[in-house]
Amino acid sequence: MLSRKILSASVSGVLVFIFLGFFIPNPFGETITSVPHYFNSVVLSILGYLFYGTPIIFLYGIVCSIISEKSAVFISKKIKSDRSYLYISGFLHACFGFVFSGYGLIASLLFFAVDHFIKNRKITVTRKQLVTALVLPIALYVLCLGTLATADFFSGGWKDLLV
């Protein structure tokens, strides 16, 4: 179960951060003046979301997801309704996610959807997939950082290296 939760956290976290990067490229409210400035802001915001959000999703999200799943199984057995498991688990995920406002709610519901998809497909998470899931946020971070460095280099930033 833990390996499935780690895979779900990695996939849902990366998707949420990319989504937030494109739709909220400038979380501090500065005006975006051009298309290159927009894409620069997108990459910068994805970097920020990854840097600060990944530990939250991995630590808080996985623990809360395990608690939600165990509680939903327990409650659905108590009320003798197998269909209620999905609704109870989704509701608990939403409640735990709402602690971090709308962003947390979106992240927790996406986490729930990805986890439920993996569970329903009966996908067994191998060690290689688990390592890939742990490397995925780091790889996206390095890719964004490289994109920023390349853009800076080709926009005249290389002249600063000569000094």
Per-residue pLDDT tens over the stretch 81-130: 777 888 888 899 899 989 888 888 988 999 899 988 988 888 787 888 88
Q: Indicate if the pLDDT at residue 45 is higher than 70.
A: yes
Q: What is the pLDDT of residue 113?
A: 92
In the prediction, which pLDDT does 160 show?
60
pLDDT band at 161 (very low <50, low <70, confident <90, very high): low
Look at residue 162 and tell me if it is in a domain. no
Residue 162 has pLDDT above 70, yes or no: no
Residue 79 lies in a domain: yes
Give me the mean pLDDT over the 35-48 stretch.
84
Is the pLDDT reported for residue 158 higher than 70? no
Tell me which residue range forms the domain holding 18: 2-25+32-155
Whole-number pLDDT of residue 8 = 87
Mean pLDDT for 40-48 is 84
Q: Domain for residue 74, yes or no?
A: yes
In sequence order, what are the residues at sequence separation of 6 or more whose Cβ sits closer than 8 angstroms to the Cβ of residue 94?
105, 108, 109, 112
Whether 52 is in a domain gets the answer yes
Residue 89 lies in a domain: yes
Is 114 a domain residue?
yes
Q: Which residues of 65-101 are buried (b: 16+ CB within 10 A; e: fewer)?
A: beebbeebeeebeeeeeeebbeebbbebbbebbeebe
pTM: 0.77
Is the residue at 163 inside a domain? no
161 located within any domain:
no
Rounded to whole angstroms, what are the CA distances from 23 to 14, 46, 108? Answer: 14, 11, 18
Considering its fold, how many domains does the chain have in total? 1
Helices vs. strands in the chain: H and E counts, helices first: 6, 0
Answer whether residue 61 shows pLDDT above 80.
yes
